Structure 1
Amino acid sequence: MKELTKGLFLAVIILSIFGCSNNEEESTSSNQVKDTNEVTLKVYNFKVEMAEQLEKLVKEYEVDHPGINVVIDTCGGGCDYSAELKTKFSSGDKPDIFFVAGYSDLDLWIEHLEDLSDQPWVEDVVDIAKEPMTKDGKLYGMPLNIEGWGYIYNKDLFAEAGISKLPKTISELKGVSEKLQSSGVTPFVNGYGEWWILGNHLLNMAFAQQDNPEDYIEAVKLNKEKFSDNKAFKEWVDLLDLTIKYGQPNPLQTDYITQVTSFASGQVAMIQQGNWVQLQLLKLNPDLEYGYLPMPINDDKEKMDRLPIGVPNNWVIYKNSKVKDEAKDFLNWMVTSDIGKRYLVEEFKFIPAFKNIPIDKTKLGPLGTDLIEYIHNNKTVPWLWQKYPGYEVNTSQMGAVIQAYIGDQITKEEMFEQFQLIWDELSEQEEVVQK
């Protein structure tokens, strides 16, 4: 009886420790320790929108792999993944599997990463998805999926406003916005309270529409180009101004969740978002009809009718993990097993970055289906912010500057000046590190 009482007491303590979250707004976790003899594999997830599906996938894996306990810790609800990941490493709570974006982010984390070049899934990765995580001929990450973004529009509201021709240029987008507003519909709900919607995604359009985007980025780094002198950046402000003019009041007070739920309600016509919102839209309003529009900055229809397509993040393994072999097995199972492949397409609604995973467009939802069409028609522009000096430090600072412009705290000219100061400082820091 004494031993039984001790065991029950210990069980209660364990449940109380691992059953509680430190901050429900910032992190959700499946920290359930099942057996002290099991191998525990810690995964730090940055995509809150796939947290529920990932938990289900893990349960399937654990059934097939007795003795492996996969603990998912999801950074969500306003959590800054990059900052929290750095905190985990500095505190000694290093995850076995986590995410790295590639390019500049790869350079930041490469000393901690396991070389995955010899893994069986590597030969099936589509070529474009290898580039962000390849360094000196070695591949350090497994691509999560292929994503894209643009303006998601409500088909019913467009039809009710008498809009039969979808806008491909900024003049056409303005005309559509006027029609929607005249019909009593708010054209845009802007989630400009989120720096990444501005600094990563919206601002990317100015870089992506350069004649040679990568050359332009290098020229700005070397102080050979100025934002204030660039035609595409001036045109980009026209698009930003248009969304503010035809958007909801107080866009700086609107966050990601509010933006998506407002659109799902069927009361607003357009939001700037990516296919990562597919699961939320299906859950919130499965009957809603919607699709993608481009984000034009001028009236060149051929160049403007494109969507930014790329790899959002990559699964990586901590090279000094004591369970890195188990981590490799988990990643391999996810993209080679029938269960894993089904989850990626049907449950996660991902466009796979692997040639061995067939794409059934009927399983992806309308956003993934539209993206596939843009990809097949070669109507894409690149994701570029991962190549900026300082990566997320850069884009978060530029996002804050854009927010100041939206809030009428600075002028357009002052916004460009502040962009330049950010790039000059971070480019100099990058040069010092490289030396």
Structure 2
Amino acid sequence: MRKKLFYGFLAVLLLLLSASNMPPEKEEEQAEQTVSLTIRNPKVEVASEFEDMVSMYEKTHPHVRIQVETVGGISDDFSDLKTQMAIGEGPDIFTNVGYSATEEWIRYLEDLSEESWVFDARDGTLDPITEGGKVYGMPMNIEGFGIVYNKALFRKAGINELPDTYTELEKVASQLKKIGVTPFANGYYEEWKLGHHLTSLAFAEQSDPEAFMSDLTEGKASFADNNSFQNMLRFLDLTLAYGSPHAATTDYYAEMEVFQQGEAAMIVQGNWVEPLLAKQAPDLDAGMFPIPLDDGGNAQLVTGVPSYWVVNKQSGAAEKREAKRFLKWMAESEEGQAYQTEHLRFVSAFRSVQPPETSLSGDTWRRYDQQERRNFNWSSYSPPMKDAFGRILKQYVNEEMSKQDALQDLNHAWQQNSSSH
């Protein structure tokens, strides 16, 4: 009996000794059970690259399993997410565009103020996702919106200088048409390009965009009397007159295909198309320039943070912990930073990350860094407002209403939705 007790005691002692000698990382691995995360990725251009980055993360974090759901492009709609969140089945990581959307979704957003990457963010990039002094999201990247063009086709048409005024842009379109090249590959099927980006350009042209928005709400200003919004419709007219037919039914992918094949010289897009071009048309030499709405000669790229990675407040404690770790890895690890720059072609919103030197993203960064830019404003006005703008401008593209009617309808949409502004 004494022998049995002795051997039993010895076995327990050996177990305790082996446990105390276990390396800390192994100890942590044993303690951490497998955690499954779901990420809603809105970037269709980098769907496969994003999944590859996630796989790379999983290899060094074997206790984490991540499922990526890519939603964007044609189906750029948050209605499915709202339904999921309402029944408590939303993804652990998703995106939010900031400003009014921060207020609208705040009950679902985890406070990320204590995360270390907060202190590395470039000036102003966290403002749209900050509410009551608390930071609720991590900036995805910095993007620029303008005209992406085919350099070889420009040279072929004898265009040696990029247009800086509306009149110069019209001349460029005419020169391209003369050599049998379609100037614009128009894809206006998705309303986000019209309702978000183009209207943001017109807002950015105001001397004080926020004051203009307040004046609209108070009835002191009107789209119909505003030069920038009139010029925005004139620019739309130019792309339709010198562009591919069936613009309202041509989607993002069809537009990109026409451009990639060299059938059209310009697309109204941003540096986010660079990964698609690198993958599907690696030999195409593309550049980007600002959209000149007027003849002032001061056209500037519209830039900003398009959206923020946010953590679902409804997720379990383990899921929230691992979601924050993944975001931290993307923002701070050598592998995460390099992958985003080299493969996703992101212009980082963090000071410690070297921006890419590629044509579109490199140009966006140079203009952003040198202050040769205007700021995105579409996240400042409510999602219902942007959706309404998109529908109205789509009708205009479809020739279902006149210029004056379109501007008056924009006014009406603002008045209807300004309570949520």
Q: TM-score, normalised by structure 2?
A: 0.89
Could you tell me which residue of structure 2 aligns to residue 16 of structure 1?
Answer: none
Specify which of 226, 233, 241 is matched with residue 230 of structure 1.
226
CA gap 1:278/1:91 in 2 versus in 1, 3 angstroms: same
Match of 2:60 in 1: 64
User: How far does residue 237 in structure 1 lie from its aligned partner after superposition?
Assistant: 1.8
Displacement of 1:45 in angstroms is 1.4
Cα offset, 1:53, TM superposition = 1.4
**Which amino acid in structure 2 is aligned with residue 332 of structure 1?**
K
Report the equivalent of 1:375. 368
Question: In the aligned structure 2, how far is the partner of 1:139 from the partner of 1:239?
Answer: 37
State the match for 1:334 in structure 2: 330
Deviation at 1:216, TM superposition (A): 0.4
Q: Distance in 2 between matches of 1:373 and 1:127?
A: 16
The alignment's C-alpha RMSD in Å is: 1.5
Q: Partners of 1:174 and 1:202 in 2: how far apart? A: 18
Q: 5 Å matches for 1:154-303?
A: 154-302=150-298
Cα distance in structure 2, aligned partners of 1:213 and 1:76: 28
Q: CA deviation at 1:360?
A: 4.1
Answering whether residue 414 of structure 2 is matched by residue 418 of structure 1, we say no
Q: In 2, are the aligned partners of 1:204 and 1:383 still within 8 Å (CA)?
A: yes
- Mapped contact 1:46–1:81 kept (Cα < 8 A): no
2:120 pairs with 1:124: yes
Cα shift readout 1:334-381 (whole Å, capped 9, x = no counterpart): 1111110111101110000001112241xxx31011112212332101
Q: Percent identity?
A: 40
Residue 209 of structure 1: how far off its partner (Å) = 0.7
Shift, 1:151, TM fit: 0.5
Answer whether contact 1:152 1:273 (CA < 8 A) is retained. Answer: yes
Structure-2 separation of matches of 1:418 and 1:80? 23
> What is the one-letter code of the residue matched to 2:219?
N
Post-superposition offset of 1:222: 2.0
1:136-147 equivalence runs, <5 A: 136-147=132-143
Q: Which residue of 301, 304, 315 corresponds with 1:307?
A: 301
Give how far 1:333 is off: 1.1
CA deviations on 1:194-248 (whole Å, 9 max, x unpaired) are: 1111111122221111111111011112222111111222222221111111111
Match of 1:40 in 2: 36
Task: Specify whether residues 77 and 165 from structure 1 end up closer, same or farther in structure 2 by C-alpha distance, changes over 3 A only.
Answer: closer
Q: C-alpha separation between the residues in 1 aligned to 2:374 and 2:209? A: 10
Q: Distance in 1 between matches of 2:111 and 2:73?
A: 32
* Alpha-carbon contact 2:313-2:320 (below 8 Å) kept: yes
Alpha-carbon offset, residue 420 of structure 1: 1.1
Q: Secondary structure at the match of 1:386?
A: coil
Q: Could you tell me which residue of structure 2 aligns to residue 148 of structure 1?
A: 144
How many residue pairs were aligned?
388
Distance in 2, matches of 1:384 and 1:248, equals: 28
Partner of 2:10: none
Which has the higher Rg, Structure 1 or Structure 2? 2
Cα distance in 1, alignment partners of residues 374 and 109 from structure 2: 29
Secondary structure at the counterpart of residue 69 of structure 1: strand
SS at match of 2:75: coil
Structure 1 segments unaligned to the other structure (5+ residues): 1-36
Aligned-partner residue type, residue 377 of structure 2: L
Pick aligned residue for 2:100 from 98, 101, 104: 104
Q: Judging changes above 3 Å, is the alpha-carbon distance between structure 1 residues 214 and 331 closer, same or farther for their aligned structure 2 residues?
A: same
Alpha-carbon distance change, 130 to 79 in structure 1, aligned in 2, over 3 angstroms: same
The residue type equivalent to 2:310 in the other structure is V
Decide whether the 8 Å contact of 2:188 with 2:194 is kept in 1.
yes
Give the C-alpha shift of residue 424 in structure 1: 0.7
Give the Cα–Cα distance (whole angstroms) in 2 for the partners of residues 142 and 328 of structure 1. 10
Structure 1 counterpart SS, 2:269: strand
Instruction: Give the corresponding residue for 1:19.
Output: none
Q: Deviations over 1:291-323 (max 9, x none)?
A: 012111111112x2x100000110111123112
Helix, strand or coil for the counterpart of 1:40?
strand
The CA distance in 1 between the partners of 2:354 and 2:372, in whole Å, is: 21
SS at match of 1:121: helix
Q: 1:399 corresponds to which residue?
A: 390
Question: Structure 1: how far apart are the matches of 2:306 and 2:73?
Answer: 18
**C-alpha separation in 2, matches of 1:74 and 1:239:** 32
Task: Give distance in 2, aligned partners of 1:259 and 1:360.
Answer: 25
- Residues 17-60 of structure 1 deviation map (CA, whole Å, 9 limit, x = unaligned): xxxxxxxxxxxxxxxxxxxx621112111112222111111111
Question: Structure 1 CA distance, aligned partners of 2:174 and 2:126?
Answer: 43
Deviations 1:137-159 (A, max 9, x none): 11110000000110011111111
SS in 1 for 2:125: helix
Of structures 1 and 2, the one scoring higher in RCO (CA 8 A, sep 6+) is 2
Take 1:424 and 1:205, find their aligned partners in 2: how far apart are those partners? 20
1:427 to 408, 411, 418: 418
Instruction: Report the Cα distance in structure 2 between the residues aligned to 1:238 and 1:167, rounded to whole angstroms.
Output: 16
Task: Name the counterpart of 2:378.
Answer: 385
Would the alpha carbon gap of residues 395 and 122 (structure 1) be closer, same or farther in structure 2, given more than 3 Å must change?
Answer: same
CA contact (8 A) 2:121 2:349 kept: yes
C-alpha distance in 1, partners of 2:370/2:123? 18
Query: Secondary structure at 1:115's aligned position in 2?
Result: coil
Asked if 1 retains the 8 angstrom alpha-carbon contact of 2:187 and 2:252, the reply is yes
Change (3 A) 1:76 1:298: closer
Task: Answer whether contact 2:95 2:310 (CA < 8 A) is retained.
Answer: yes
